Amino acid sequence: MWALVGWWALGPLGFCSLLLFLVTVDELTTFPVGAVSSSKKMGFDENKEAGEKSEATDHENHKSEDEHVSRQASETSIYATEEEEEELASKIQLGPQCTLKEHLEKDKDDESLRRWKEQLLGSVDVNNVAEILDPEVKITSLSIVSPERDDIVLPIPEDGNPKGLWFTLKEGSHYRLKFTFQVNNNIVSGLKYTNTVWKTGVKVDSSKEMLGTFSPQPEAYTHEMPEETTPSGLFARGSYSARSKFLDDDNKCYLEINYTFDIRKEWA
């Protein structure tokens, strides 16, 4: 009853104020609970998404690192050193060597092999060839051929080490290496030419050209390498050191030349 009297005594304005107060108090006591619950839910989802993103990022990073390591290993395996190639070649067993007469006697009943051997030997008189197992290959001349100038004839020293600057190339020029060689005693199998170039101690180029199999003959063989283009620009010009070799399938070296050359704006 006192409550009713007190509520009525407030009057219309007081009643409205009281009602507004009660509603406000109710909102203040109930909203934060919902807000905290919603906030916790949102925070959980964000943490979950962040965790998933973090795991995805870590997976991509590991994948990228694995691919990078794999690519590095692949590139390293491609660029084998000259020493490794020579060591591998020395381990390959090609079988015993034969003299020219023994070559002709082998498989003489095989018509196709007999014709191939006759074509390989050409006009060689087998009866006048010494019974020597090891072939002899002598490089008789080396020259640089370019359409822009006369041929550059390179002197070949006995020890294979030219004194001082051996030659000069013009930057951006087209050229070929041309050489002649003599084969004596026996067939040389898998003759090849290798060349490695360094600048300031760093290897900048390495190449190998297979020349083929050659029989002994009085006339010299002539071979021209594929055309190459000299690099150009400020960083290309300067002094280089190089090593060229002529080897066969048995990794026997017939000539090794260690030399220096320049790349300049103009021919020397």
Q: Would you state the pLDDT for residue 22?
A: 44
What is the distance between the alpha carbons of residues 86 and 75, in angstroms, rounded to a whole number?
19
Q: What is the predicted pLDDT for the residue at 40?
A: 36
Residue 199's pLDDT is what? 97
The confidence score (pLDDT) of residue 23 equals 42
Q: How do the pLDDT tens digits run along the chain, 268 residues long?
A: 333 334 334 444 444 444 444 444 444 443 333 333 333 333 334 444 445 545 555 555 544 544 443 444 333 333 445 555 555 555 544 455 676 666 666 666 777 766 766 666 665 665 655 567 789 999 999 999 999 999 999 999 988 899 999 999 999 999 999 999 999 988 899 999 999 999 999 999 999 999 999 988 889 999 999 999 999 999 999 999 999 999 999 999 999 999 999 999 999 8
pLDDT of residue 35: 36
* Long-range contacts of the stretch 142-146 (C-beta < 8 A, 24+): 142/177, 142/178, 142/179, 143/177, 143/178, 143/179, 144/169, 144/175, 144/176, 144/177, 144/178, 145/175, 145/176, 145/177, 145/178, 145/224, 146/173, 146/174, 146/175, 146/176
Which pLDDT value is given to residue 206? 96
Nearest to 236 by CA among 211, 268, 205, 195: 205
Question: What is the pLDDT at residue 263?
Answer: 98
pLDDT of res. 69: 39
